[in-house]
């Protein structure tokens, strides 16, 4: 994991990179990786997410009120970027201020069972939430997207950490059907030393950083692996090579959507 201060800073930094890409753009541009959303709705989702998480870390252990606007975005189909961008920046900066004010160790409510019940959960989650939604905007606009390598590695790590706790609770029958002998996947970043093995050979979802022979292997640049794992780019459209059981990879990705 990166440290708490880095996560806090990345929430603002990634938001700034996002708003730089939005400046002067048509907010009604569709976002293919978030079906049904346009750029304005994507930005509203991020901004409401930052505000919701700010409430959570200041909530002294209580669940924040549900802000329907974070999920129900039908009212935001024709956004004015001159109003939207300052609003988005303000939410990120207020969230960062809340995180730094309470620090990483106070006990808070979190939406995921198990794990740390501290502001560190929200700092890490929303740093990566913002990274991935910045990717959504970049894909919609045909713009470059290249996060720092250590940030991208931790983004994948966190995705897999969350899968460990959510896998047993979501779509149980389809998940269980993927478990069995030799049910392993290897993801290898060709432009850095990062490697991951996803292991479904036992009863539980498990992962580790390792170089191992697996039923299927996916090799490619780190950013491409990140986009594939978050289902922002289809395997066939990504700059990756796949070896082994491609059907198993397709089935695993199909039951492993994220946000």
Domain containing 198: what range? 171-254
Quick one: pLDDT at residue 62?
Answer: 57
- DSSP per-residue string spanning 210-252: -----SEEEEE-HHHHHHHHTTSS-GGGSS-EEEE-HHHHHHH
pTM for this one?
Answer: 0.93
Give how far the C-alpha of residue 166 lies from the chain's centroid of Cα atoms, to the nearest Å.
14
- Could you tell me if residue 37 is inside a domain? yes
For residues 187 and 198, the answer to whether their CB atoms sit within 8 Å is yes
Residues 113 and 177 in one domain: no
Residues 37 and 126 in one domain: yes
What is the SS3 assignment for 108? coil
Residues 134 and 224 in one domain: no
- Could you tell me if residue 212 is inside a domain? yes
Nearest to 11 by CA among 131, 174, 179, 156: 131
Residues 136 and 31 in one domain: yes
User: Which of 145, 162, 196 marks a domain boundary?
Assistant: 145
User: Which of 102, 130, 145 marks a domain boundary?
Assistant: 145
Quick one: pLDDT at residue 90?
Answer: 97
Residues 132 and 186 in one domain: no
- List the CATH number of the domain containing 40: 1.20.120.450
Number of domains in the chain: 2
Residues 128 and 183 in one domain: no
- Could you tell me if residue 166 is inside a domain? no
- List the CATH number of the domain containing 216: 3.30.1050.10
- Could you tell me if residue 16 is inside a domain? yes
pLDDT in tens, 39-51: 999 999 999 999 9
Mean pLDDT over 82-111 rounds to 95
What is the SS3 assignment for 189? strand
pLDDT in tens, 163-197: 888 877 777 888 889 999 999 999 999 999 999 99
64 confidence band (pLDDT: 50, 70, 90): low
Residues 11 and 129 in one domain: yes
């Amino acid at each position: 994991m990166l440290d708490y201060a880095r996560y806090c800073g990345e929430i603002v930094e990634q938001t700034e990179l996002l708003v730089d890409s939005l400046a002067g753009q048509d907010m009604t541009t569709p976002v293919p990786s978030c079906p049904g959303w346009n750029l304005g709705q994507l930005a509203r989702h991020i901004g409401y997410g930052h505000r919701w998480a700010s409430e959570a870390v200041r909530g002294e252990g209580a669940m924040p009120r549900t802000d329907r606007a974070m999920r129900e975005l039908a009212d935001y189909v024709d956004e004015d970027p001159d109003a939207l961008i300052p609003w988005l920046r303000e939410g990120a900066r207020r969230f960062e201020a809340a995180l730094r004010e309470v620090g990483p160790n106070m006990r808070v409510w979190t939406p995921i069972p198990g794990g740390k019940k501290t502001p560190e959960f929200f700092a890490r989650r929303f740093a990566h939430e913002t990274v991935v939604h910045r990717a959504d905007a970049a894909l919609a606009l045909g713009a470059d997207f290249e996060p720092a390598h250590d940030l991208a590695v931790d983004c994948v790590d966190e995705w897999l950490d969350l899968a460990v706790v959510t896998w047993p609770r979501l779509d149980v029958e389809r998940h269980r059907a993927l478990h069995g002998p030799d049910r392993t996947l290897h993801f290898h970043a060709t432009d850095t030393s990062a490697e991951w093995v996803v292991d479904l050979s036992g009863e539980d979802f498990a992962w580790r950083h390792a170089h191992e022979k697996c039923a299927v292997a996916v090799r490619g640049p780190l950013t491409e692996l990140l986009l594939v794992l978050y289902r922002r780019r289809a395997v066939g459209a990504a700059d990756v090579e796949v070896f082994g059981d491609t059907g198993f990879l397709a089935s695993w990705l199909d039951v492993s959507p994220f946000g």
